[in-house]
Chains A and B, each alone.
Chain A
Amino acid sequence: MSIKVSMTVNGKPVSAQVEERTLLVTLIREELRLTGTHVGCDTAQCGACTVHMNGKAVKSCSMVAMQAEGANIVTIEGIAAADGTLHPMQAAFKENHGLQCGFCTPGMVMNAIDLAKGNPNLTETEIREGLEGNLCRCTGYHNIVKSIAAGAKAMAK
């Protein structure tokens, strides 16, 4: 059995014929070949699969693709400017050494952008609570928190 699913991904309309049980993250990675969105735990703990659906951070491993039918999806590939200039949050992660192995980074950045929207002066507590759904196994979070604080300020400029 298969079903047609259509949505906007990074500003472009896309559609695909998929099995109903196809997860959104599977569609993104295997059909659309946007492999920046990662599958870490595959059980909704780690947040590496975080994308934006209609502007809100969601875990793309925790929903079937059909739940995003007609939605506006943005992945990590869709946030830098067309000329390659990094998004302010990406730049802040680079400046503040907010990553080591980088596996969790796409999810961290996508959640951070949503968290920082309209909140340029995030406190450390707000950032740490906001990261409840994202796991990093390298950095101990310290530089990630620094990056998000700086990125939030930069986004408001």
Chain B
Amino acid sequence: MHAFSYHKPSTLGDALSLVAKQSEGKILAGGQSLVQAMKLRLASPTDLIDLSGIKDLAGIKVEGSSVTIGAMTRHADVENNADVKKMIPALARLAGGIGDRQVRHMGTIGGSVANSDPAACYPAAVLGLGATIVTNKRKIAADDFFKGLFETALETGELITAVTFPTVKRAGYIKFKNPASRFALVGVFVAETSGGVRVAVTGAASCVFRATAIEKALTAKFDPDAVPADTIKADTLNADLHGSAEYRAHLITVMAKRAVTQAVGK
């Protein structure tokens, strides 16, 4: 790992002024992706700005029918939170399936969403549930947030402070794990909302995306058998030694069916 300077601000204001000063610096949330990337020299920031000293950034709040999760809330705390389990059980289950126990004790929702790893689980929930990403500057709809491979709508000097999830009628998430890394080779999040069905796919392309053809079919009938076969085109999907694009396209329909099955509780 290359050398860097370490900062631990105790307020959001201090963090933002550090971010403004250190153009080659990086925000450190839980560090479960960033520290390993730095060890591999895939990232070599001049400065690390550790957000763990900012108390307001962690915690889960219920407001009416929505749940707001602070950016520094650890995966294990979402997995085990009574309100999340009751109001959006699919989200609690998804959080409980990220990485492994040790990773879930450190990794944060803000870090995962800001990183936009193509195989991460949280982006599927954020897009599938139609969540809102709250930053120090604005509120960003999930549909406008994920832009590409490790790329989001976040601007320089913009920091995620929380993610707000609406409750939905029913939701489910199933991932097909890469047998070695346990990351999602393909993961599909389905949600039946008051405004129709949303289907978000992770692991299959450069970043999470919505499968609109499946959404349309499931809006007509929310049933596993309603998921149409072969509607996903392979030409924009990832292909690597773990699976061809055609294999991933097929997996999307299979995972979508299983996610609906989970959502309807069959």
CA distance A146 to B102 in the complex (A): 21
Q: Tell yes or no: A28 within 8 A of B by CB.
A: no
- Interface positions, chain A 86-145, Cβ under 8 Å from B, are 111, 114-115, 130, 132-134
Taking the complex as formed, is A74 at the interface, i.e. its CB lies under 8 A from any CB of chain B?
Answer: no
The minimal Cβ–Cβ distance linking A119 to chain B, given in whole angstroms, is 12
Which B residues lie within 8 Å of A23 (CB)?
1, 35, 39
Assess whether A62 is in contact with B182, with CB atoms less than 8 Å apart. Answer: no
Query: Mostly helix, strand, loop or mixed at chain B's interface?
Result: mixed
22 A-B residue pairs with CB within 8 Å? A1-B5, A20-B3, A21-B3, A23-B1, A23-B35, A23-B39, A43-B36, A50-B102, A57-B101, A59-B102, A59-B103, A62-B35, A62-B103, A63-B106, A66-B50, A67-B28, A67-B50, A67-B52, A69-B8, A111-B102, A115-B101, A132-B99
Interface centre among A45, A57, A114, A115 (most CB of B within 10 A): A57
Knowing A21-B3, A44-B36, say if A57 contacts B31 (CB, 8 Å): no
Give B181 Cβ to nearest chain A Cβ, in Å: 8
- Chain A residues within 8 Å of B36, by CB: 43-44, 62
Interfacial residues, chain B to chain A (CB-CB below 8 A): 1-6, 8, 28, 31-32, 35-36, 38-40, 48, 50, 52, 76, 99-103, 105-106, 181-182
**Which residues does chain A contribute within 8 Å of B38, judged by CB atoms?**
21
Docked pose: A58 CA to B6 CA in angstroms: 21
Measured CA separation A43–B4 after assembly (Å): 20
Give the 7 A-B CB pairs with smallest separation, nearest first: A133-B100, A132-B100, A20-B6, A56-B105, A21-B1, A59-B102, A133-B102
Other-chain contact of B102, A21, A47, A69 (Cβ < 8 Å): A47
Q: How many of chain A's residues touch chain B, expressed as a range? A: 20 to 34
Determine if A44 and B1 form an interchain contact, defined as CB atoms under 8 angstroms apart.
Answer: no
Tell me the nearest residue of chain A to B177, going by C-beta.
Answer: A132
A130 contacts across to B, CB distance below 8 A:
101
Give the residues in chain B near A132, CB-CB below 8 Å: 99-101, 182
Which residue in chain A gives the minimum CB-CB distance to B53?
Answer: A69
Assuming the contacts A44-B36, A67-B31, asked whether A133 and B99 have C-beta atoms less than 8 A apart, the reply is yes
Residues of A within 8 A of B32 (CB): 44, 62
- Contact between B106 and A62 (Cβ–Cβ < 8 Å)? yes
* Least CB distance, B124 to chain A, in whole angstroms: 19
Instruction: List the interface of chain A (C-beta within 8 A of B).
Output: 1, 3, 19-21, 23, 42-45, 47, 50, 53, 56-59, 62-64, 66-67, 69, 111, 114-115, 130, 132-134
Minimal Cβ-Cβ distance residue in A for B6: A20
Q: Are B6 and A64 in contact (CB under 8 A)?
A: yes
Minimal beta-carbon separation of A151 from chain B (angstroms): 16
B101 touches A111 (CB 8 A): yes
Which residues of A are found within 8 Å of B31, using beta-carbon distances?
62-64, 67
Structural contact, B99 and A56, CB atoms closer than 8 A: no
**Most-contacted residue by chain A among B36, B40, B52 (CB, 10 A):** B36
Q: Shortest beta-carbon distance, A69 to chain B, in Å?
A: 7
Output the residue of B6, B31, B32, B76 with the most chain A CB within 10 A: B6
Known contacts A43-B39, A43-B40, A57-B105; 19 additional CB pairs below 8 A are: A3-B6, A19-B3, A20-B5, A20-B6, A21-B1, A21-B38, A23-B1, A47-B100, A47-B102, A53-B105, A62-B102, A62-B103, A62-B106, A67-B28, A69-B8, A132-B99, A132-B100, A133-B101, A133-B103
Q: Which residues of A have CB within 8 Å of B102? A: 47, 50, 57-59, 62, 111, 133
Q: Which residue of A lies closest to B38 (CB)?
A: A21
B5 proximity list for chain A (CB < 8 A)? 1, 20
